[in-house]
Structure 1
C-alpha cells in the first residue's frame, strides 16, 4: 500500500539520481558566509538557508547582520508563527543517510532558545494555525513489542500550543491520514483520510479533542482489484473564510503522482455537491494561493514532472470557473496573493527550459531570465523585477499591501541573494550568499527562504 512517506522518499532518491550531489552540500568549502548588503530597514524577519544551515535576519534593524542558528546536519524551513515570534524548522542530523529522518525544532525570532519539539520522526509538513501559537504535525508513533521498537508505518497526529517556550499538547492520537489543514478558527482541523476497501477518499472535520464533526466523501470507494486507483487528497489548502478547500487527488502510485494529478475544489458549505475539476498539476501545495477575499484560487496547471516547462498560471473562481492565465512558451510557479488586496497576484515566470536535463551544472541557471510578475484585477500582467539572462528571480514574497517585494535572485542553480523591491520600484540586494537545492526536477522546493512581514503597530 502506498503511504505518504514513500512518495517523499522516492522523490528524494530520484532527485539525487537526476541532479547528482548538491553543490550546496557537497562543496561546503566553496560556500561563502552570508552577508547583509543593503542597510536600510525593511519591515520583515527573514529565515534562509546557506550550506544547508539555518540563518535568520531581523531586517527591521539596519545594523543587524545574518545570524547562524544551526551548524550540523541539514535544515528545511517550515515557517513563521502568525505573529513572527517563533520559527519552525525540520532538522536532519544525518542527511547523508539514504533514509534520513527529520525532527521538528523551534527557535525564537532573534535566533535564541532553539529546542526540539518532539523526539519522534516527522512524517509530514508541520503547520502553524492561522492565529496564535497553535500548531499540528504528524510523527512516526513509537510502537513497541516483545522485540522492541517496530518499524511499521504508524502515523500519529499531534496538535499543540507553544506558550512561554513550553509545549502543551491538545490532541495526540494515531490516525491514518495523508494530510491535514487548520480551519480559520484555529480550533478545528480538516483531515484527509485515504481510500480503502469500501471507503472513498474522505475529508473529516475534527475538533482538538479528536471528535469528528463532519465528513466529506470524495467520490466512490475505489476498485482495489484494478491495482491503481485514487488513493488520497493531499495539499489541502483552505480559503481564508474556510468555506472551500483545494487539493490534489493522488493515486496509489508514486511514479504516476510525479507526472501530475487531478486538482479539485470542494465547497464545504455544500457537502452534497460534487467537487469541481480544475485541471492537472504537480502535487505541490506551494503552487496554491487563495486571494484574501476567498473569491479566487491561483494555481499552477500542467502535467509532466519537469517543473521548468509546461506549467501555467491558472485561476479558479468560487463557482469552479477556470481562467487560464499562462503564456505560450513560458513557465510559471509559486503564485502569491497579497494579504490586504485581493486584486494583486505575484508569481514567477520565465521561458520554458529543459536543456539542463541530463546535463545539470550547479553553476548554471535552470530558467535563465526568470522574473517576478504581477497580475491585476483586470487580468493585466507585467514583470515587476528586472534583470538579464545571467540571473533568475524566484520565491516572490509580497508585503501585505503589495508595495514591497522580497524575492531571491539566482546567479546559479544553487546560489543567489535575497533582494528587495522597494516602494519606489528600485531593486536592492539585501542578503548575499543564500544557497539551497534545485529540488525535484527544478521545483525549487522546499523553499530556501521564509518571510514574516511585520505589520505596523
Structure 2
C-alpha cells in the first residue's frame, strides 16, 4: 500500500513539473548594452560590441526587432534577430527610427522614417526590404486584424492657433494611394478642455472594439499633463477619460473585458497625485480611484479580470525644493470586487520594486537598489508562491514573449 502511495506522489510531482516546464518564461532583455535571451533557466547573449535598445517580439516569437548602434549609442539602426538562423540583420540598410511595431498576425514589421509609414516585405520567410504605405504620419498602430493602421498626423500651428488633430484608417496595401485612406476621426482641441497637437500610445481593448491613446500637447506642457482618450473601432464614439503623465506602461486594458486602468494625476514629479484609476468603456461616470490617501502608485498591471497589481510608495507632499525624493515602491494587489488591498513584495529599505508584469500564472518585477541603474528580475510562480531571483544585472524591464497571446 505504501509503495502505491509513493508511486502516486511521484507521478503527481512529475506531472506538475511537466506542466510548469511546458511553457517556460521566455524574455529578451538588455545587459551591458547588449541583447540577451532567457528561456526557462537558459541565458544566451545575442549581440556583441553594440549599443542595443527597445527590443520587441514578433507575433510568433521567431524574430526580435531592436535598435543597434555603436558603443557610444550613436546612430541606432533598426535591426532584427532571427532565432531560427541565429543571426541579426538589417531589414533595410541604416534605417533610423524610434517607432516600429510588429503585425499582430504576421511577421511583418511597420516603422516610421521621417513621417513615412513603411512596412517590410517578406523574403525567404523573413522581413526584408520595405514598401511605403503613407506620408505625413506622426503616430500609428496596427488594427487587430493586421489589415490596416490607425494613424495620426500632428496638427499645424496657424495664426489663429493650433488646429484639430486628424486620425485616419490606412489599409496595409495603400502604397501611397491617398484614395484608399479613410478619415477615422478628428479631435477638436481647445486650450480649456482638450489641448493637443498629436497623439501617442494607441492601445486596443481585448475585443478590439476600442482603442485608447494619449492626446499630447506641446512638449513642455506634456511633461505635466496629457489627456487619456478612447475611441470605438468604427470611429463613431470618442470619449475623454482623464489627465495623466505620458508613460505608456501606465495605461493597461483589462485582459478580457472593456475596462481601462491607468495612473491618473497631473504634475511631472512623482511625489504626489498619482492614483490608480479604473473605468468601464464606454464610460458613463468618472473613473474610480483606488490609491489610499498618503500614497502614490507609479506602475500597474492586470493580474486577472478582477485584480490588479500596482507599484506603490508613500507620497512626499511636503517636498518643494532640493533633491527629488526617491520613491521606494513595493508591489500591492487590489481586488476590484471587494476593495481589499494587500502588499505583495517586501523589498529592503534601500530597494524599490517596479515594472510588474504578469505572464500566464507568473508575476514578475524589477528590483533595484536606490541610485543604481541596473536591477534584478524577480518572479512569483503563483500569487501565494515564494519569490525567487530570475535574471541578474538588467538595465530595464525584460520584454516577455507570452505563449498565450
Distance in 2, matches of 1:111 and 1:431, equals 25
Aligned in 2, Cα 1:433/1:229: closer, same or farther, shift over 3 Å? closer
Aligned in 2, Cα 1:124/1:357: closer, same or farther, shift over 3 Å? farther
1:405 maps onto 2:363 in alignment: yes
2:313 counterpart residue number: 350
Decide which of 301, 306, 318 is 1:336's aligned counterpart: 301
2:77 counterpart residue number: 103
Give CA deviations for 1:119-175 in whole Å, capped at 9, x if unaligned. Answer: 3443332112223322211123xxxxxxxxxxxxxx221123556553256741452
SS at match of 1:256: helix
Aligned in 2, Cα 1:43/1:72: closer, same or farther, shift over 3 Å? same
1:421 CA drift (Å) = 0.5
Aligned in 2, Cα 1:285/1:392: closer, same or farther, shift over 3 Å? same
Distance in 2, matches of 1:371 and 1:248, equals 27
1:366 CA drift (Å) = 3.1
Q: Counterparts of 1:33-44 in structure 2 under 5 Å?
A: 43-44=24-25
1:290 CA drift (Å) = 0.7
Decide which of 297, 301, 308 is 2:264's aligned counterpart: 301
1:215 counterpart residue number: 184
Alignment gaps of 5+ in structure 2? 1-19, 175-179
SS at match of 1:160: strand
Query: How many equivalent residue pairs?
Result: 369
Alignment gaps of 5+ in structure 1? 1-39, 141-154, 437-446
2:164 counterpart residue number: 200
Tell me if the contact between 1:232 and 1:249 (Cα under 8 Å) persists in the aligned partners.
Answer: yes
1:298 CA drift (Å) = 0.9
Decide which of 120, 133, 141 is 2:107's aligned counterpart: 133
Distance in 2, matches of 1:257 and 1:309, equals 17
Tell me if the contact between 1:43 and 1:453 (Cα under 8 Å) persists in the aligned partners.
Answer: no
Distance in 1, matches of 2:44 and 2:243, equals 41
Tell me if the contact between 1:170 and 1:209 (Cα under 8 Å) persists in the aligned partners.
Answer: no
SS at match of 1:292: coil
Decide which of 123, 135, 139 is 1:175's aligned counterpart: 135
Decide which of 79, 87, 91 is 1:117's aligned counterpart: 91
Question: Normalization by structure 2: what TM-score?
Answer: 0.81
Distance in 2, matches of 1:123 and 1:270, equals 28
Aligned in 2, Cα 1:114/1:165: closer, same or farther, shift over 3 Å? farther
1:149 counterpart residue number: none
Tell me if the contact between 2:365 and 2:397 (Cα under 8 Å) persists in the aligned partners.
Answer: no
Decide which of 353, 357, 373 is 1:414's aligned counterpart: 373
Tell me if the contact between 2:206 and 2:258 (Cα under 8 Å) persists in the aligned partners.
Answer: no
Tell me if the contact between 1:46 and 1:57 (Cα under 8 Å) persists in the aligned partners.
Answer: yes
Decide which of 256, 262, 272 is 2:221's aligned counterpart: 256
Tell me if the contact between 1:406 and 1:419 (Cα under 8 Å) persists in the aligned partners.
Answer: yes
Give CA deviations for 1:86-144 in whole Å, capped at 9, x if unaligned. Answer: 22211232646xxx43321111348921112333443332112223322211123xxxx
Aligned in 2, Cα 1:183/1:380: closer, same or farther, shift over 3 Å? farther
Distance in 2, matches of 1:293 and 1:344, equals 12
1:281 counterpart residue number: 244
SS at match of 2:368: strand
Question: Normalization by structure 1: what TM-score?
Answer: 0.72
SS at match of 2:355: strand
